Amino acid sequence: MALVFPGSTCQICGNELGEDYRSDDIVGLPEGLLAMTEFSRFNDSVMHQHCFQNWIKAEKFVNILNKSLLNSGRKGCVITNERKFKYL
Ligand SMILES: [Zn+2]
């Protein structure tokens, strides 16, 4: 899972996390699982929940990440009713 610090940048909006880096609004993403996909920049990175909620590629991202998570023997992830990203 990505190391998260104030200088980390959200892979959706490109902004630094700043003081939000410890908040519940931040999602850490795994290393390696997205490397060979169109979402390779998300490999071992972070994103804001509020950016994910409005992201047009959210469903495609979750589908691709789920294949990799399940293939590696891990639990998957879902989009909640509030359109938030959640690991199972
Ligand atoms: Zn963001």
pLDDT value for 20: 87
pLDDT value for 2: 80
Is the model's pLDDT at 60 over the cut of 80? yes
pLDDT value for 51: 97
Beta bridge partners, 77, equal 87
Question: What b/e readout covers 3-31, taking b as 16+ CB neighbours within 10 angstroms?
Answer: ebeeebebbbeeeebeebeeeebbbebbe
**Distance between CA atoms of residues 12 and 15, nearest Å:** 8
Dist. CA 5 → ligand 1 center (Å): 14
Under DSSP, the state recorded for 20 is G
Is the model's pLDDT at 16 over the cut of 90? yes
Spacing of C-alpha 9 from chain mean position: 12
Dist. CA 50 → ligand 1 center (Å): 7
Over residues 64-87, mean pLDDT: 95
Dist. CA 4 → ligand 1 center (Å): 13
